[in-house]
Amino acid sequence: MPELPEVETMRRQLTPIVGSEILEVCRPRSRLRPIGMRPAFVHLRKILRNSRVAEITRLGKRIVLWTEKGSCSWALVIEPRMTGCVTLSLPPDDAHTRLVLRLNNEAYPVVYFWDSRGLGQLQLLNREDYSELAQSLGPDALEVSADYLRQRLGRSGRPIKLALMDQQVLAGIGNLYASEILLAAKIHPASRCRNLSDAHWRALVRAIGQVLQRAIEAQGSTLADETYRNPRGQPGTFQFQHYVYQKDGHKCRRCNKAVIMRIRLGGRSTFFCPVCQPIV
């Protein structure tokens, strides 16, 4: 967390700041270990001050603020990782506020990056370096095709769930949505990629689109730790539509027969229904 639906929600709700000038860049004082930042804050601040927010995009699970100053263009790439969020409202506390952008926007004068665990990353990249980062990732999960996945993974012996979470294969899916997607596609998370049929790949792509779009409409998932909020400070609601994620021990809502089970794959908890998702 956050994954593609949460970051896409951030992107959409941050669009009102496009066209604003960044008047000041602040890093609040904190006793906490600082988050990863490149370049160093003093250089990042110098570049961003008095620049204009030209566009806001998403790169997989990263939010990107494109800025312009004169003839120069820079991408402020924010990777929330486990507990980060970009917000236009006051964050939950000051101690975990990692970066503040002050704008000349009357409606939204401040942008905050807040991260309780401090695992997030900030990078300020020129267009060449941004292109290199983008090329290191697979296609966006909302744009992937069955043919691409079959050609990319069809000979792999990896469990399909781990392959879905590999950002070099496709960008945007993490542990939560991989579990929900695989239930929707009726594929066991430990099934080897090479064992999947053409029908499986088609079902998987349909499930990716359906689950992610529904989650975006619900503005993402806010879990028990309540760290995720959209930029207006409101929780997402897709957690109320989860079928398997953290539902182990509960009866499956799809088949109403089996109990959701938990296993570990690649060191991560994985949830599935043994009836709806037979292994292949």
Q: Where are the domains of the chain?
A: 4-135, 141-272
Look-up: residue for tokens 């099934």?
Answer: 191
Which candidate in 2, 5, 80, 159 is catalytic?
2
Cβ atoms of 212 and 4 closer than 8 Å: yes
The confidence score (pLDDT) of residue 30 equals 82
Rg of the chain in Å (alpha carbons): 20
Which candidate in 12, 102, 268, 274 is catalytic?
268
The confidence score (pLDDT) of residue 79 equals 97
Annotation says 61 is catalytic = yes
Mean pLDDT, all residues of the chain: 96
Taking residues 115-132, report their average pLDDT. 96
pLDDT, one tens digit per residue, over 218-265 is 999 999 988 899 999 999 999 999 999 999 999 999 999 999 999 999
62-69/72-79 β-pairing: antiparallel
pLDDT, one tens digit per residue, over 59-83 is 999 999 999 999 999 999 999 999 9
Query: pTM for this structure?
Result: 0.95
Cβ atoms of 185 and 206 closer than 8 Å: yes
Annotation says 33 is catalytic = no
Contacts for 216 with CB less than 8 Å, ≥ 6 apart = 4, 5, 8, 9
For 141-272, CATH number?
1.10.8.50
Which candidate in 11, 27, 61, 62 is catalytic?
61
pLDDT, one tens digit per residue, over 102-116 is 999 999 999 999 999
Cβ atoms of 2 and 172 closer than 8 Å: no
Cα–Cα dist 6/11, whole Å: 9
CA angle (239, 245, 251) in 5-degree steps: 100
User: Are both 4-135 and 141-272 of the same fold?
Assistant: no
Annotation says 117 is catalytic = no
Hey, what CATH topology would domain 4-135 get? Answer: N-terminal domain of MutM-like DNA repair proteins (3.20.190)
Which candidate in 3, 8, 79, 180 is catalytic?
3
